[in-house]
A = this chain, B = another copy of it.
Amino acid sequence: MFRTNTCGELRIADAGREVTLAGWVQRVRRMGGMTFVDLRDRYGITQVVFIDEENAELNAAANRLGREYVVQVVGKVAERTSKNPHLSTGDIEVIATTLNVLNPSEVPPFTIEDESDGGDDLRMRYRYLDLRRTPVRRNLELRHRMTMEVRRYLDSKGFLEIETPMLVGSTPEGARDFIVPSRMNPGQFYALPQSPQTLKQLLMVSGMDRYFQIVKCFRDEDLRADRQPEFTQIDCEMSFIEQDDIINLFEGMAKHLFKEIRGVELTEPFQRMPWADAMKYYGSDKPDLRFDMKFVELMDVLKGHGFSVFDNAAYIGGICAKGAATYTRKQLDQLTEFVKRPQIGAKGLVYARVGEDGTVKSSVDKFYDQATLQQMAAAMSAEPGDLILIISGDDAMKARKQLCELRLEMGRQLGLRDKNKFACLWVVDFPMFEWSDEEQRLMAMHHPFTHPKDEDIPMLDTDPAAVRADAYDMVINGIEVGGGSIRIHDSALQAKMFEILGFTPERAQEQFGFLMNAFKYGAPPHGGLAYGLDRWVSIFAGLDSIRDCIAFPKNNSGRDVMLDAPAPVEQKQLDELQLLIAPADKK
């Protein structure tokens, strides 16, 4: 061992002890005949003092130390004269008697401080230095504690962690697979799993009863800001259960994590909101319930008054922003610009302020008399000082999504989206299918293995688009952290589902034959869910992006700029795989 203690553990009770510390030089300050070195390791910072009067040579050596040098120091723990209450070791310092430079350091390309001067690119290129920064390190520590707690909890509930293979078969249904050429089977490819979905269902067929796995999954998608080509799931499956059993168990796990990791006691049961309500009242299947501002439909009140935009609309809905009547014209114009951005796509925004005297002044006053406006304010439970914001459109679903964006923006502007407040709910009763304009067919909203609600099964033949599924998502603060479903365990129903999804029996057999075969040998009723670990950690860490809770993330082009991967490989490797790279123009 190069040390007797870490840089985070010495206290006043240690005064007088001779200790050896090792770590990185955070800072060197010279004051009078003394040199103060802040020595840092994962556990903390300890002040080391070199006294010129006692050992001039040693003091001179300390003065030559640069930032991020790795050193070993022997010395005696002493009580500080001026204590530092911000530091857990702030009551003591170590009076050095020996200094040993274990490794010098070049000047790092950015400051290793809580707030670094390094830009995103530079920090990613030198990620190993970025990880030395306390806030980044804390995210990884949090991630470790979360996975430990998840494992402890699920183990205590009888779940077995079972590893499923990483080299599986490609299933073109769903997102795009990463594929892996097989040298021993030329012309053939493995795929990296998008999730262990079918494998965990096979584990239920095998009687494993309760399975989980914290596991890497892969999707070759065009990356948006908050997506990674490889991501980590907490993947779970149970047998002989119904939807309530799963929701109760994993709600228990969520509460356990909130308590153990964040110290937050959530005593109330999580709200369970049908998908249809979530869309109706929040325009989203993952509503942020940290604040209210529910949608109110205003078709009855506002239609037929000669305002053609509303008169022709398939949807008119509004939100009431408490106390925001003070918004200036400029602020309201900015909100209008916000909803008209192409990413949101609203045609415009109608607003109305409720004055202190209760009168309503709107942007469309020429079409509406005060009585109608009062009726509207009443419908919205608006009070003096409130601001009403209204969106309409030809397509109700699209208009709701626009109103959702506006609601979230207003929540942000009014400070209602506090990162230290947590609002959890289950969204349930998802539709089984959604129509794909691109594919011109029904697609599975969750996946093709999702069980329809028993009472809706007859509609599979008559009105499949209306069928609801035994599917559920867990939402925290407007972010979907996990989701799952009861699965089909009957091979006939599974075959019917593939048929509705446009699979020929041959193609269904080719791609999912192993699963449908397995169902012939006694599949138990089962279901499960999967959490996105990266996302959940980022919520607990109060981060806006998942990237900073991943040790070595990739950028938006799927590159690891530190490792410089991907990269060309040697010709020999391609030859062994019998692969050729197509000329770019043959794309």
Contacts and interface: CB of A to CB of B under 8 A. Distances in A.
Interface of A: 1-3, 22-24, 40-43, 68-70, 102-106, 108, 126-132, 137, 140-141, 143-144, 147-148, 151, 155, 160-170, 172, 176-192, 199, 202-203, 205-209, 216, 218, 220, 222-223, 229-230, 232, 240-242, 245, 489-490, 514, 518-525, 550-552, 554, 557-560, 562-570, 572-573, 575-582, 584, 586-587
Contacts of A164: 551-552
A557 B188 CA distance: 12
A582 B580 contact: yes
A88 to B, nearest CB: 16
A579 B578 contact: no
B166 A216 contact: yes
A445 to B, nearest CB: 24
A579 B582 contact: yes
Nearest to A205: B128
For chain A, what secondary structure do more than half of its interface residues adopt (helix, strand, loop), or is it mixed? loop
Contacts of A191: 565, 569
B180 A179 contact: yes
A169 B558 CA distance: 12
A525 B106 CA distance: 17
B202 A557 contact: no
Contact of A208 (B42, B103, B172): B42
Contacts of A105: 520-522
Most buried by B among A165, A177, A186: A165
A573 B172 contact: yes
B566 A190 contact: yes
A181 to B, nearest CB: 7
Contact of A581 (B178, B192, B205, B580): B580
Contact of A576 (B41, B132, B176, B576): B176
9 contacts: A132-B207, A137-B206, A165-B552, A166-B216, A170-B569, A172-B570, A184-B558, A188-B567, A216-B216
A108 B207 CA distance: 14
Contacts of A70: 522-524
A573 B179 contact: yes
Contacts of A169: 560, 563-567
B575 A185 contact: no
Contacts of A207: 23-24, 40-42, 131-132, 137
Q: Considering residues A40, A202, A586, which has the most beta carbons from chain B within 10 angstroms of its beta carbon?
A: A202
Contacts of A552: 164-165, 199, 202
A25 to B, nearest CB: 8
A504 to B, nearest CB: 15
A170 B217 CA distance: 20
B189 A568 contact: yes
Contacts of A127: 202, 206
A178 B209 CA distance: 33
A106 B522 CA distance: 8
A468 B190 CA distance: 41
A575 to B, nearest CB: 7
A404 B211 CA distance: 43
A49 B581 CA distance: 66
Nearest to A21: B240
B208 A131 contact: yes
Given A180-B192, A206-B129, A68 B559 contact: no
A519 B232 CA distance: 29
B41 A209 contact: yes
Contacts of A40: 207
Contact of A167 (B186, B560, B573): B560
A412 B397 CA distance: 73
A178 B514 CA distance: 25
A582 B70 CA distance: 52
Contact of A582 (B22, B129, B185, B578): B578
Contact of A557 (B176, B184, B576, B581): B184
A451 to B, nearest CB: 13
